[in-house]
Chain A
Amino acid sequence: MKIRGIAQAISEGIRQEMERNDKIVVLGEDVTYWGAVFGFTMGLFDKFGRKRIIDTPITEQTFMGMGVGAASVGLHPVISLMFVDFLGAGFDQMFNHMAKNYYMSGGQFPMPITVITAIGGGYGDSSQHSQVLYSIFAHLPGFKVVVPSTPYDAKGLTIKALRDQNPVIIFGHKLLTGLPFLPFEGIEEEVPDEPYEIDFGKAIVRKEGSDITIIGTALMVHRSLKAAEMLEKEGISAEVIDLRTLVPLDEETIIKSAKKTGKVLIVDEDYMSYGMTGEIAFRIQSKALRELKVPISRLAVPDVPIPFSEPLENAVIPSVKSIYDEAKKLLMH
């Protein structure tokens, strides 16, 4: 089946797993009529009704905590956090309980919970509705962090999450959803009708190259691919790696590529400092320092809130042009 964008692919993955496993229930704001606003639960209400697709009050702390309680007695809750920016309203239950109860209980209470949340800017939604924030979850032990960038990956990673006994957070970028009311920078592709899993901790080389390695996630993968096309026209061969999951992280693929090209650019839509770019850079230098020809470079939101006005927003979120420019700078080094 052809699927355009990740939203329908995620909801398709949930639907198939719900048919297989009656312990799965979907909780969150606007998950019925509106498909969790960004489409991740679209169509599920018509199929499963209110018993299994449940609109909650606007109480992030409480429905996250209910997920913890429900998981502890055998359900697998899928919880929609409408925008990742709202995590502040529910974070205690997530990082102090959902992520820790398995460890703190000495292995007695697994927490099979899948949280699906929308990330990213680029459409004028300003500081409280445009963040990415996945590094916060990746920083805290106990969460698996999944960032699909294509429909094929979105479905396979979602199914994998729903078969996992741990809290998995799926970060769906709004500009990759394929919804008519948002810009679309993702792809449409053929997705198998039957259920399938994609393993966590396996990055994918989206484009092979030999002169420079560009590493990213979600929207940044697509922008990096476009920048790589521009470089290609100038005879520069860029390799583009899509991390797919931050936890677990596929060190092998990124280090292999860094050793091959000797030049690495890490692109992130999350904040710059203490984030994904620094972590990836550390891992590369610790295992491939001798092969690096120039210092590792990075692009990310430069430690400011995402501003509203279009030229301001464009100035802080890495674009095709800024990726291209940074890559060129690195190659000139």
Chain B
Amino acid sequence: MIIKPEPTIKDLSFIIDNSGLKPNDLLNMYKRMVTIRYFEEEIRKVYHEGKNPFNMASGIIRGEMHLAIGQEAVAVGSLYNVRVDDVVISTHRPHHHAIAKGVDLKKLAAEIFGKATGLCRGKGGHMHLFDKEKNFACSGIVGASFPQAAGAAFAFKYLNKDNVAFAFAGEGAANHGTFSETLNIASAWELPLIIVIEDNKYADSTPKSLVMSTTFHYQRGLAYNVPSYLVDGMDVIDVYITTKKAVERGRRGFGPTLIEAITYRYVGHFEGDGEEYRTKDEVEFWSQVDPIRRLENRLLKLNFADSEMLAKLREEARREVQEAIDFAIKSPYPSPEEALRGVFA
């Protein structure tokens, strides 16, 4: 289900004018989305090397791998206007959020490869990415992001700072008790918290229609007196406009906002997923609204860029991604003794 039909060019110009976005902003967003896409495609390629027959422990990148290919607009649109000292708590599917928050591509790739030069010196891995400098963290435990972001929001309020904290989660995670608990407390205490639900329709393999009592989560947010919005997660502009309002509310001390973005992942829940739960037709249908192509078409139609400019941005993104992957491959592994260090501060 597409939430909003593609606007006409006139309508689109009006929307963009009203949003305060300049052509350059949209080009930046395009570049970020493309960077995320290339990064994940590249990770995916390397991940599967040496994994035939499929075995998670073999190959250069070990363990599970959850990619967000298709969900780029949610991360880029919602985090386009945040500051470096705002907090983002992400999930087991964290790469797009990390890149959108400004996490260094090289350190990110190196961590995913388990290298000493990684964000966490190889101790975290793909589901446990931390970057103190960029105020980014995530967790491999479903539903864990809500209270942690609320805690950061609580601290901002206590310290009289005008920062906001973001919790990202999937629509499956939002069935967890922490979602309701956090909405309640953040609303009661007017915390500068922004919850972004990425509804990609499946909790691992389970369609949301089988396990959700309401059609959408924003309905639940409203029940807790939290302003809650449904946005088109395949439209970076739509995500941006609503999140900008949420961030302003948070900074002014008005309390939390819930944003539910309808989106789709074009790849499995994890790499190696047989995708028995959905049809090829469905994936094909959603690929018609690929958020990157959609933005590309708009940029061209609005004359914000010509295809040469966009090709140049794509080329830059590809080069940065390649440099990051090369850096990760060439970096050394941590020494085994490192495993016994750093349990306590």
- Please report A residues at the B interface, Cβ cutoff 8 Å: 25, 51, 56-57, 59, 61-75, 77, 92-93, 96-97, 101-112, 141-142, 144, 165-166
Contacts and interface: CB of A to CB of B under 8 A. Distances in A.
A112 B188 CA distance: 26
A65 B178 contact: yes
Contacts of A73: 87, 135, 152, 155-156, 159
A192 to B, nearest CB: 28
Interface residues of B, number: 43
Contacts of B151: 65-72, 77
Nearest to B177: A61
Contact of B344 (A70, A101, A109, A144): A144
Contacts, number: 142
Given A62-B178, A106-B120, A69 B345 contact: no
A93 B147 contact: yes
A108 B146 CA distance: 21
Contacts of A104: 120, 123-124, 128, 130
A106 B150 contact: no
Given A61-B178, A106-B120, A108-B130, A97 B144 contact: yes
A23 to B, nearest CB: 8
Contacts of A103: 123, 342-343
A156 B246 CA distance: 45
B154 A166 contact: no
Given A77-B151, A105-B137, 14 more contacts: A59-B177, A61-B177, A63-B185, A67-B151, A69-B148, A70-B155, A72-B151, A73-B156, A97-B144, A104-B124, A106-B119, A107-B342, A108-B119, A141-B343
Contact of A72 (B87, B123, B159, B344): B87
B148 A105 contact: no
Contact of A74 (B122, B130, B159): B159
For the complex of A and B, 4 pairs with smallest distance between CB atoms: A69-B151, A65-B147, A66-B151, A105-B130
B137 A75 contact: no
Contact of A96 (B141, B152, B188): B141
B182 interface: yes
Interface in B174-203: 177-178, 181-182, 184-185, 188
B144 A96 contact: yes
A72 B149 CA distance: 10
A93 B141 CA distance: 9
Nearest to A89: B177
Contacts of B148: 65-66, 68-69, 72, 93, 97
7 contacts: A59-B184, A61-B178, A62-B150, A68-B151, A69-B165, A97-B141, A102-B343
Contacts of B155: 69-70, 73-75
A99 B132 CA distance: 17
A56 B185 contact: yes
B129 to A, nearest CB: 9
Nearest to B140: A96
A59 B185 contact: yes
Contact of A61 (B89, B135, B181): B181
Contact of B152 (A69, A141, A142): A69
A107 B345 CA distance: 7
Contacts of A25: 158
A110 B135 CA distance: 13
B131 interface: yes
Contacts of B121: 106-107
A165 B150 CA distance: 21
A57 B130 contact: no
Contacts of A72: 87, 137, 148, 151-152
Contacts of A142: 343-344
A69 B153 contact: yes
Contacts of A66: 147-148, 150-151, 154, 185
B185 A57 contact: yes
A62 B120 contact: no
A77 B141 CA distance: 22
Contacts of A56: 185
B152 A57 contact: no
A65 B150 contact: yes
B139 interface: yes
Given A65-B144, A69-B89, A166 B137 contact: no
A106 B135 CA distance: 14
B205 to A, nearest CB: 22
B87 A62 contact: no
Given A103-B343, A106-B123, A61 B147 contact: yes
A31 to B, nearest CB: 15
B127 to A, nearest CB: 9
Contacts of A166: 344-345
Which has the most chain A C-beta neighbours within 10 Å: B128, B150, B177, B344? B344
Contacts of B178: 61-62, 65
Contacts of A110: 345
A112 B155 CA distance: 13
A75 B89 CA distance: 17
A108 B158 contact: no
Interface in B106-133: 118-124, 128, 130-132
Contacts of A64: 147
A211 B156 CA distance: 58
Interface in B237-286: none
Nearest to A164: B345
Which has the most chain B C-beta neighbours within 10 Å: A63, A72, A75, A107? A72
Nearest to A142: B343
A92 B141 contact: yes
A207 to B, nearest CB: 32
Nearest to A71: B151
